[in-house]
Amino acid sequence: MKLITAALLAALAAPSIASPYFRPLDISHPQVSAGAIWSTSQLNQSVGVTDLAIITHSPADGSIIPGSWRSVMPPEDWVPLQLGAGGSFTGNAVINAGTSLNVAPQVAALVLRGVSASSSPWLVAVKSAFTGASKTGLSFAAGPTWYAAPVVNGTMLPVDKWQGRFGIFTGAAWKF
């Protein structure tokens, strides 16, 4: 909770800085993600959700990754705060709040590093697919999240009965 509060305060102060590290929601270019939250306690409590990024960070806004490491680890691209809603496979409605990291640049860097010296037609095609993937606006995101079920079996529960739990969000993210 302290991390979310600190990120929110930094984002609210960000408009006064020339190049902020965090950016608040941009309605004209929202970042949306869709995927699953995997329960850390029971797999059958996993849910599907769609999230909206409230606070974002892009590599264009700077990086804490040293320049000498960037051939192995690309600059961070993450969402410190995303909010969303969805449902479980048992028919319950859920709400969630969490964070996610765009892991596509890291995966692409590892793949490209492994296939860069090859002249095999198949590996050249793989290299082409991974170098062009960043231009589509589509990425793969993952991160910790908290979720709760305010509606169970069609009945709205009182807030003290929501049974919040932690899980790991994994899914696709789009920047429009």
Q: pLDDT digit string (tens) for 30-72?
A: 989 999 999 888 887 889 999 999 998 888 888 888 888 877 7
Higher pLDDT, 105 or 173: 173
Identify any residues that bridge with 95 across adjacent strands, giving them in sequence order.
85, 148
CA 169 to chain centre: 8
Higher pLDDT, 101 or 44: 101
pLDDT classification of 2: cutoffs 50, 70, 90: low
Contact 101, 78 (CB under 8 A): yes
In the predicted model, what is the mean pLDDT of residues 100-114? Answer: 74
- Please tell me the least confidently modeled range out of 14-23, 40-49, 91-100, 134-143: 14-23
Contact 170, 36 (CB under 8 A): yes
Residue 16 pLDDT exceeds 60: no
Higher pLDDT, 87 or 65: 87
Q: How far is residue 122 from each of residues 25, 115, 125, measured CA to CA in Å?
A: 40, 10, 5
Percent of the chain at pLDDT above 70?
73
Contact 25, 8 (CB under 8 A): no
Model's pTM, two decimal places? 0.71
CB atoms within 10 A of CB 57: 25
- Please tell me the least confidently modeled range out of 32-41, 71-80, 128-137: 128-137
Name 105's Cβ contacts closer than 8 Å, sequence gap at least 6: 59, 74, 75, 77, 134, 139
